[in-house]
Chain A
Amino acid sequence: METKRADTVTAPRRFPMREVVLFAAVLVAVLGVYAVMGSAYGTRMLVEAACYAILALGLTIQWGYAGQFNAGVMGFVALGGFCAMFFSIPVNPAFWDSELPGELGLALLYMIGAVLLVFGATRLDRVGVPKVLRTVIAVLLAVVLYLVVINVFRDVTGQIESRAGFIGGLGLPVGVGWVVGGALAGGVGYFIGRICLGLRSDYLAIATLGIAEIIKAFLKNSDWLTRGTATVSPLPWPVPGPGEVGFTLARALYFSITAVMIAVIFFLLTRAYHAPWGRMIRAIRDNEVSAAAMGKDINKRRLEIFVLGCILMGIGGAALASFNSIFDPQGYLPLNHTFLVLVMVILGGPGNNLGTIFGAVAVYIIWIMSAPMALFLMDMAMALGAGLGWDTPTNMDSRALQARVFVIGLLITLVLRFAPKGLLPEKVKHHG
């Protein structure tokens, strides 16, 4: 799509100066945080940055490899977090010892039956029913059955809430939740992708933005499933917790797990990128028409990569929720979980895995440090203002945090304008 080819062609065996300098800068920043804030805080920051790096890798294959813009990372992160919570926390005997599980199962069966019935009604035209009549029957049936099922569900969930609190977890190992979280996020991604990927890319952005808000609304209001705003904590860790081995060591162990995950994902993605499949994806991104003319199944490839990205986001979200040891549906914010990841990707270099990881760590350090920095600056300004006799508002600290929203937005527009390929641009190899 670009005409300046010279920029993207890598000279053979060039010393990767830019990468070394940028990563050295990040290393210095990390060491600085360790020196100022202590090792427990620094390790926590590293783990969170690693989780964000997984999210960013998911977004970089969607946006960088394939040119699909996902504006709802938050939703997939929340799904992953929910699975991590649901599979790992202990079983709730108050729920399982009553007759409620049977009722919930019955409600689920009703739901499946209703779906099958409506689906059958949409096939009535195969047995000779006129199409208009079929549509009318299907819609009426769907409305009536929906009302019936939703009422049964409201009954059961209301009882669960009043008698058992919530349904509790499954008490399985943490890793199960992470894997299922990735699978669930991938499933939702498949649903969205099937609808939107054949259309203009703007529609995907709108639809993902919507599904993210819906997932959040569902998790926030389903008290029977997630305890809603009451939050669930503590979530177990896959490694010995801070109570057993101390904060720094426990977090370091957790970090080693996320680091291994990143290494594996990175290795596989790099292999895929250089494989014929990766070339095909880039060909579709750069020139859809000619890729289609070559006989490539564009929509199928797009769907593959979109689902793959969503799976990574689900896994990253699960790792993040487990680490924070709390599942709080209200804590999922578009700013923290969608736009921050977007900045990481476009600043680091969309399509360049190394650049994305650099972007994730660098941006996360800036992000986490910006809160104390903003407060410090606001304090300075207030002291200055008081000296000049200004009347400063009282809730300055909460307002100072709002400045971060502005900075993230400014960063997005500036990067798009002045460094559209990011700090570590994607390197396209031209063979022969």
Chain B
Amino acid sequence: MNELVFFINNVLVSGSVSGSIYAIGAVGVTLVFSIMRFAHFAHADMMTFGAFMVLLLTSVFPGAGAAFGVPTALVMLPLAMALTALLAVGIDRAFYKPLRAHGVKPIVLVIGSLGVTLMLQGLIRLFSGTGGQSLYVDDRKEIFRLALPIEGVRVPVVITEPQFYLFVLTIVAVVALHLFLSRSRLGKAMRAMSDNPDLAQASGINTNTIVAVTWVIVGGLAAIAGTLLSLDVTFKPDLSFFLLLPIFAAAIVGGVGRPYGAIAGGFVVGFAETLAVFNWSVMLRPFRDSLPEWLLQSGNLAFVGTEYKIVVPFFILVAILIWRPTGIFKGKVI
């Protein structure tokens, strides 16, 4: 049973953590894709920007969280979301809109978004320095140890405070997005535009408004994902390059342009990563009496070392592009 708890701690919890973050990130990427039809590479840096805004605000008002009984970073999150949304709309006005007006190919917009990536990265590094910083400026990270009421289990299930908030916020964000897309007028207009932009425009939907609303949502989601990730580990300005591949893999696995697919894809990629780096020889230990000797000899039965974690999303990406380029949920574009 101890092995099972070990499995829960190392696979279920950490898989859900990275899965949630990839899911929220992939939803943003897929929303941009469904409305504006290009792969938005600057998304991961918008996440970093959101986390950086939280870091700044938290350092300015370190005591604000105590009034609500939660970490200060979470109190500052709505403000950071607003700022990131503003940034997203501003970036679109300044860089993407003129390119769209020129009627360029989507791939030129992709290159433009890479330019924006570098600019954001440069700015963040200029102001934050290159080292890592904790978002817990004045607070203390609490760690919950849940002992299982089963005979013979010595190891508790461990969940840290930011992980708990991460699960809660992910569920809130997903439900809110679902309600917005399925109930509100704007959400329905967004879906209409994603299905057929010309028809949407002809039936009186203001596409400029929809684009702006999309960027607001994308910016907000990016800020949530970046902050939650930085809460769980630390804030680093070069987070983005390691996030890009899993997020895009998640969006493509779920079917590009399908928000619910992106959520599923995020968890697929997150769990695949943790399962691949998990050392399976631990799970064989309870059966050591009935297994052949040679199988137990090598102490390391992980598929890839943690240093090759980035191979996993790439492998998933390649596999999905070969066998089912539209993704699990039949995305629109190939």
Contact = CB atoms under 8 A, between A and B. Distances in A.
A411 B115 CA distance: 8
B129 A217 contact: no
A214 interface: yes
B108 A416 contact: yes
Contact of A206 (B115, B317, B322): B317
A8 interface: no
A393 B307 CA distance: 34
Interface stretch (B76-84, B116-124, B150-158, B223-231): B116-124
Contacts of A203: 252, 321, 325
A396 to B, nearest CB: 10
A265 B292 CA distance: 59
A175 interface: no
Contact of B112 (A154, A220, A404, A413): A413
Interface centre among A206, A218, A339, A420 (most CB of B within 10 A): A206
B57 to A, nearest CB: 19
A71 B39 CA distance: 12
B126 interface: yes
A207 B242 CA distance: 14
Contact of A409 (B98, B116, B318): B116
A420 B318 contact: no
B126 A199 contact: no
B106 A201 contact: yes
Nearest to B131: A395
Contacts of A413: 95, 112, 115-116, 119
B108 A409 contact: no
A209 interface: yes
Interface residues of B, number: 54
Given A217-B307, A403-B126, A406-B122, A206 B112 contact: no
Contact of A420 (B108, B123, B245, B307): B108
Contacts of B106: 200-202
A355 B106 CA distance: 24
A170 interface: no
A50 to B, nearest CB: 25
Given A200-B333, A201-B106, A406-B122, A206 B245 contact: yes
B125 A405 contact: yes
B330 to A, nearest CB: 15
Contacts of A406: 118-119, 121-123, 126
B130 interface: yes
A304 interface: no
Contacts of A411: 115
Contacts of B95: 413, 417
B122 A404 contact: yes
Interface in A170-224: 195-196, 199-203, 205-207, 209-211, 213-214, 217-218, 220-221
Contacts of B104: 416, 420
B310 A339 contact: no
B329 interface: no
B61 interface: no
A151 B121 CA distance: 39
Contacts of B305: 221
Contact of A205 (B110, B301, B313, B317): B110
A241 interface: no
Contacts of B118: 335, 339, 405-406, 408-409, 412
Contacts of A417: 95, 98-99, 112
B130 A416 contact: no
A233 interface: no
22 contacts: A69-B111, A150-B303, A203-B325, A205-B107, A206-B244, A206-B252, A207-B318, A209-B244, A209-B245, A217-B307, A346-B111, A398-B129, A399-B126, A405-B119, A405-B125, A406-B126, A409-B114, A409-B117, A410-B115, A412-B111, A417-B112, A420-B104
Given A207-B321, A395-B129, 18 more contacts: A67-B105, A69-B107, A151-B298, A151-B300, A195-B321, A200-B333, A200-B334, A201-B106, A207-B317, A209-B245, A210-B245, A210-B314, A217-B308, A393-B129, A410-B119, A411-B115, A417-B95, A417-B112
Interface of B: 38-39, 41, 95, 98-99, 102, 104-108, 110-112, 114-123, 125-126, 129-130, 241-242, 244-245, 248-249, 252, 298, 300-301, 303, 305, 307-308, 310-311, 313-314, 317-318, 321-322, 325, 333-334
